[in-house]
């Protein structure tokens, strides 16, 4: 359990990075995982590590709401690329 671990948040991120190639996440998992970390830097690292491992990108709005600060979103866009992080388009009609 990531949340109940005795490791520091930085150690958790290192472990998650080392096994990330083995995991695929749903948007709900990503939302929960981001919620386990308190600082902007930690949340950003988790986002960068797992963003391209999400299998239901059409539900990205579930975890995107974890990033309220415009500056934080801009940094993510710069790190991943604007086209990569462009919101999934869902026409309503």
> What's residue 23's pLDDT?
95
> What's residue 89's pLDDT?
63
Percent residues over pLDDT 70 in the chain: 92
- The three-state secondary structure class of 4 is coil
- The three-state secondary structure class of 10 is helix
> What's residue 70's pLDDT?
86
> What's residue 91's pLDDT?
64
Contacts of 21 (CB under 8 A, 6+ apart): none
What would the pLDDT profile of 26-57 be if each residue is shown by its tens digit?
999 999 999 999 999 999 999 999 999 999 98
């Amino acid at each position: 359990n990531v949340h109940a671990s005795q490791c520091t948040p930085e150690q958790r991120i290192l472990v998650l990075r080392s096994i990330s190639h083995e995991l695929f996440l749903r948007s709900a998992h990503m939302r929960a995982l981001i919620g386990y970390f308190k600082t902007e830097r930690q949340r950003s690292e988790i986002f960068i590590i797992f963003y391209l491992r999400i299998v239901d990108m059409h539900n990205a709005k579930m975890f995107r709401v974890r990033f309220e600060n415009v500056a934080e979103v801009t940094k993510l866009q710069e790190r991943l690329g604007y086209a990569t992080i462009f919101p999934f388009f869902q026409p309503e009609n």
